[in-house]
Amino acid sequence: MRGIRTTGPLLVHATKQILDNWGEDGWELVSVIPGPNPEQLVAYMKRAKS
């Protein structure tokens, strides 16, 4: 079974809070890459289909 995947912006000053919010909704962090500017990262996440 293939899960659902998404990306989301991560602000450097609020990374933990943002990831905690995604985690509460069932998302699992797969990878983090640099974003378009130094204050932002891009998170790749996945979760099982409901």
Q: Which of 2, 5, 11 is nearest to 45 (CA)?
A: 5
For the stretch 1-50, pLDDT in tens is: 579 999 999 988 999 999 999 999 999 999 999 998 888 899 999 999 87
- The pLDDT value recorded for residue 38 is 83
| pLDDT score at 44 | 97
- Which secondary structure element, helix H or strand E, spans residue 25, and what is its range? none
Spell out the alpha helix ranges (H) of 1-50: 15-24
The domain spans of the chain are 4-47
Q: According to the model, what pLDDT value does residue 49 have?
A: 86
d(CA 44, CA 26): 13
What span, in angstroms and rounded, lies between the C-alpha atoms of 9 and 18? Answer: 9
Tell me the residue type at 30.
V
Q: What is the pLDDT of residue 1?
A: 53
Note the pLDDT of residue 47: 96
- What pLDDT is stored for residue 41 in this prediction? 93
